[in-house]
C-alpha cells in the first residue's frame, strides 16, 4: 500500500485506489491510499508549521536537497520511466525522456536557489536607498493532471521549494505512482518535515479543500478548462494567487515552400506521439493548397508504419489511450467529425487487445481531411491521437486560421521562407511558437505557458517561475 505523506509521516486514507496499466488492464501496479478532506487540511497545517523555518533556509540547503533529488531521479531513469509508461501508457522512450526532464528540472531549480535576484536603486529622495527583493509566497497547493505524471509535479514542486515555499501536492487520480515516487525521493532528501506533503485523492474533495483553505497562499493548476475556471473563481473569491495551464487546440501550418519530409515528421510527432495526450499536441494542421495533396499522401503513408501497442514493448510508436473514459471521448469526437462531413482519411479504429492479446485501450491514430474551421473537431480539445487537416489558399489565410481559436498555447509553422517564419513568430497568438519543429517538445529551462483560454497567470518553468512562487518587497533605508 502506497500512502500519503503528511508532516513527514506516511498516512493511510479512508479509501484505496488501484493504479491500473492501460496497456494491460489485468496488471495492477499498486494500491494507493486516498486522502480525505481532513488529510488535505492536515497537510496544509503541516506545511504552514514548516514555513517559517523553511522560508529562511539557506540557498545552500535548498541547493543540496534539490540537487540530490535531481541526481536520484536521473540515476533511476529506467526504473521510474518503466513505472511512468506502465501507469500512463506513453512509450518507454517517451517516459524515460520525461523522467530525465524531471531530473533536469530539479537540477535547474537547485541552481535557481543560489541565484536569488534583487535590485538596489537610488531613491528619488536624498540619502535614501531602495532595495527590491523577492520572498517566498507561503504554502502552495499544486494540482496536477495525468498526462505528465512526473514532469508536471516536478516543474511545480522544484521552483516552489527552490524559492522557499512549502508544498501540498495533489496529483491526478489516474497516475499516483510517479508522484508517490517523487514524494519518496523528497522524503529521503533531507527536507524538513512538512515542507513537502503529498495527498492523493479526488479533485472534488481533496483538491477542493486546497482551493478554499485560507492558509494556502497560491494554487498552481494544470488540467481541464472546466476545473481551471473553478480554481479561478474560488481563488479570486478569497484573493489567493493562482496560475492555470489548461487546454490547447494547437495549429501547425505547412506552407508550399516547406520541406515535405520535415513537415510530415513534425505533424506526426506532435499530432500522435504520446497518444496525442499533450496540451502542446498539434490537433489542427493548416496546409496551403500547393502542397496539400502531397502532404496528406505522405502523412497517411507514414501513419501506416506506426505501431500501436503495449507502451513498454520495444518498437511501439504509440501506446494506449490512458483509460476507458478518454477512449470514449476520442471516439465521440471521431463520430462528430464524420457527422460534420469531414473525411476520415486514416485510422480511428479501436482494438481491445494488443498484439500479445493483453486487454487495453488501443486506438489507431486518426486523420481527418477536408475539414473546416467551425467544425467541433477544429474548435474543441479532443486530447487523443486525432488530427484534422484544413486546406487554405495562402500564408495570410493560414495565419488567420491558426489564430482563430479560443486557445493559445503553442503554434507551429513549417516553411523555408525567412519572411514567413519571422512574420509568424511575431503574429502567432500563442505563448510558444515553433518554426520547423513540432509544437510539442519544449526545453526545461525556459518559460512555458500560453495565452487566451489556455493559461492564466505568470509563466511556469525557467527563471520566470519566480513570478508565481515569490512576492516582491520594496525596502527603503535612510542611511
Q: In 14-150, which ranges are continuous DSSP H helix?
A: 37-54, 59-75, 77-88, 92-113
Q: Which residue among 9, 173, 340, 370 contacts ligand ADP (CB under 6 A)?
A: 173
Provide, rounded to whole angstroms, the least separation between the CB of residue 213 and ligand ADP.
11
Provide, rounded to whole angstroms, the least separation between the CB of residue 172 and ligand ADP.
4
Per the structure block, which three cell numbers stand in for 437?
Answer: 519543429
Q: Which residue among 65, 172, 264, 267 contacts ligand ADP (CB under 6 A)?
A: 172
Q: Are 131 and 477 in contact (CB under 8 A)?
A: yes
Q: What is the chain's Cα-based Rg?
A: 23
| E strand or H helix that includes residue 226 | helix 225-237
Q: Total residues contacting ligand ADP (rule CB under 6 A)?
A: 16
- Could you tell me the maximum CA-CA distance found in the chain, to the nearest angstrom? 80
Cα angle 189-194-195, degrees, rounded to a multiple of 5: 60
Determine the 3-state secondary structure of 84 from DSSP. Answer: helix
Among 435, 436, 438, 439, which Cα is nearest to 427's? 435
Q: Are 7 and 193 in contact (CB under 8 A)?
A: yes
CA 456 from chain centre, in angstroms, equals 14
Determine the 3-state secondary structure of 125 from DSSP. Answer: coil
Q: Which residue among 4, 41, 91, 144 contacts ligand ADP (CB under 6 A)?
A: 144
Residue 479 to residues 122, 126, 184, 236, 475, Cα–Cα distance (Å): 12, 10, 49, 40, 13
Closest to ligand ADP by CB, 19 vs 144, is 144
Provide, rounded to whole angstroms, the least separation between the CB of residue 406 and ligand ADP.
17
Closest to ligand ADP by CB, 164 vs 171, is 171
Provide, rounded to whole angstroms, the least separation between the CB of residue 13 and ligand ADP.
14
Per the structure block, which three cell numbers stand in for 11?
Answer: 498516512
380 binds ligand ADP, rule: CB under 6 A = no
266 is catalytic: no
145 binds ligand ADP, rule: CB under 6 A = yes
Q: Which residue among 143, 186, 291, 363 contacts ligand ADP (CB under 6 A)?
A: 143
Closest to ligand ADP by CB, 204 vs 394, is 204
Choices 9-17, 105-113, 139-147, 412-420 (CB under 6 A): range interacting with ligand ADP: 139-147
Provide, rounded to whole angstroms, the least separation between the CB of residue 397 and ligand ADP.
33
Choices 188-196, 206-214, 432-440, 448-456 (CB under 6 A): range interacting with ligand ADP: 206-214
Residue 324 to residues 58, 144, 227, 310, Cα–Cα distance (Å): 47, 20, 20, 16
Residues 6+ apart with CB under 8 A from 301: none
Burial bucket for residue 134 (CB in 10 Å: 0-12, 13-18, 19+): middle
Choices 61-69, 155-163, 200-208, 443-451 (CB under 6 A): range interacting with ligand ADP: 200-208
Letters for 315-354 (x = contact with ligand ADP by CB under 6 A, - = none) are ----------------------------------------
Q: Are 299 and 80 in contact (CB under 8 A)?
A: no
Rounded to whole angstroms, the Cα distance separating 461 from 314 reads 32
Determine the 3-state secondary structure of 304 from DSSP. Answer: helix
Closest to ligand ADP by CB, 172 vs 186, is 172
Provide, rounded to whole angstroms, the least separation between the CB of residue 89 and ligand ADP.
14
Strands 432-435 and 241-245: unpaired
Q: Are 372 and 378 in contact (CB under 8 A)?
A: yes
Letters for 390-429 (x = contact with ligand ADP by CB under 6 A, - = none) are ----------------------------------------
Catalytic residue among 166, 235, 266, 279: 279
| E strand or H helix that includes residue 371 | none
Choices 93-101, 207-215, 262-270, 289-297 (CB under 6 A): range interacting with ligand ADP: 207-215
Closest to ligand ADP by CB, 145 vs 438, is 145
Among 375, 361, 374, 298, which Cα is nearest to 329's? 361
Rounded to whole angstroms, the Cα distance separating 285 from 395 reads 13
Choices 144-152, 179-187, 409-417, 447-455 (CB under 6 A): range interacting with ligand ADP: 144-152
Closest to ligand ADP by CB, 70 vs 320, is 320
170 binds ligand ADP, rule: CB under 6 A = yes
Provide, rounded to whole angstroms, the least separation between the CB of residue 381 and ligand ADP.
10
Q: Are 209 and 191 in contact (CB under 8 A)?
A: no
Q: Which residue among 70, 207, 360, 450 contacts ligand ADP (CB under 6 A)?
A: 207
Letters for 213-252 (x = contact with ligand ADP by CB under 6 A, - = none) are ----------xx--x--x----------------------
Q: Which residues have a catalytic role annotated? A: 279
Interacting residue ranges for ligand ADP, rule: CB under 6 A? 143-146, 170, 172-173, 203-204, 207-208, 211, 223-224, 227, 230
Amino acid at each position: 500500500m502506497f500512502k500519503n505523506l503528511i508532516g513527514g509521516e506516511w498516512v493511510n486514507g479512508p479509501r484505496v485506489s488501484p493504479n491500473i496499466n492501460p496497456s494491460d488492464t489485468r496488471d495492477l501496479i499498486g494500491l494507493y491510499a486516498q486522502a480525505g478532506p481532513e488529510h488535505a487540511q492536515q497537510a496544509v497545517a503541516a506545511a504552514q508549521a514548516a514555513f517559517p523555518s523553511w522560508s529562511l533556509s539557506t540557498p545552500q540547503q535548498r541547493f543540496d536537497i534539490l540537487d540530490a533529488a535531481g541526481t536520484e531521479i536521473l540515476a533511476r531513469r529506467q526504473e521510474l520511466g518503466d513505472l511512468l509508461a506502465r501507469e500512463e501508457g506513453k512509450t518507454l522512450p517517451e517516459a524515460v525522456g520525461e523522467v530525465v526532464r524531471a531530473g533536469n528540472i530539479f537540477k535547474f531549480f537547485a541552481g535557481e536557489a543560489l541565484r536569488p535576484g534583487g535590485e538596489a536603486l537610488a531613491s528619488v529622495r536624498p540619502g535614501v536607498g531602495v532595495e527590491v527583493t523577492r520572498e517566498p509566497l507561503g504554502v502552495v497547493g499544486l494540482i496536477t493532471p495525468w498526462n505528465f505524471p512526473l514532469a508536471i509535479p516536478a516543474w511545480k514542486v522544484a521552483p516552489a521549494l527552490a524559492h522557499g515555499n512549502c508544498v501540498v501536492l495533489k496529483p491526478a487520480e489516474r497516475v499516483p505512482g510517479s508522484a508517490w515516487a517523487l514524494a519518496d525521493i523528497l522524503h529521503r532528501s533531507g527536507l524538513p518535515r512538512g515542507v513537502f506533503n503529498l495527498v492523493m485523492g479526488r479533485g472534488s474533495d481533496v483538491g477542493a479543500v486546497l482551493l478554499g483553505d485560507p492558509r494556502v497562499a497560491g494554487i498552481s493548476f494544470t488540467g481541464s478548462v472546466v476545473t481551471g475556471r473553478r480554481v479561478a473563481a474560488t481563488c479570486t473569491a478569497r484573493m489567493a494567487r493562482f496560475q492555470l495551464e489548461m487546454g490547447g487546440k494547437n495549429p501547425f501550418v505547412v506552407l508550399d515552400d516547406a520541406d515535405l519530409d520535415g513537415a510530415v515528421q513534425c505533424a506526426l510527432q506532435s499530432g500522435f506521439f504520446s497518444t496525442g495526450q499533450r496540451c502542446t499536441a498539434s490537433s489542427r494542421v493548416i496546409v496551403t493548397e500547393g502542397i496539400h495533396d502531397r502532404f496528406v499522401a505522405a502523412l497517411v503513408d507514414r501513419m501506416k508504419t506506426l505501431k500501436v501497442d503495449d507502451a513498454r514493448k520495444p518498437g511501439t510508436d504509440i501506446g494506449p489511450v490512458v483509460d476507458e473514459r478518454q477512449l470514449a471521448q476520442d471516439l465521440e469526437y471521431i463520430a462528430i467529425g464524420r457527422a460534420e462531413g469531414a473525411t476520415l482519411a486514416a485510422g480511428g479504429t479501436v482494438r481491445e487487445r494488443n498484439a500479445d492479446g493483453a486487454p487495453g485501450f488501443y486506438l489507431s491514430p486518426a486523420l481527418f481531411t477536408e475539414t473546416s474551421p467551425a467544425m467541433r473537431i477544429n474548435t474543441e480539445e479532443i486530447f487523443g491521437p486525432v488530427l484534422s487537416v484544413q486546406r487554405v489558399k495562402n500564408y495570410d489565410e493560414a495565419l488567420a486560421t491558426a489564430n482563430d481559436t479560443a486557445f493559445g498555447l503553442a503554434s507551429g509553422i513549417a516553411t523555408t521562407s525567412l519572411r514567413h517564419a519571422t512574420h509568424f513568430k511575431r503574429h502567432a497568438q500563442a505563448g510558444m511558437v515553433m518554426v520547423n519543429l513540432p509544437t510539442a517538445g519544449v526545453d526545461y529551462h525556459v518559460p512555458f505557458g500560453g495565452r487566451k483560454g489556455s493559461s492564466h497567470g505568470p509563466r511556469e518553468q525557467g527563471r520566470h517561475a519566480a513570478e508565481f512562487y515569490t512576492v516582491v518587497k520594496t525596502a527603503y533605508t535612510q542611511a
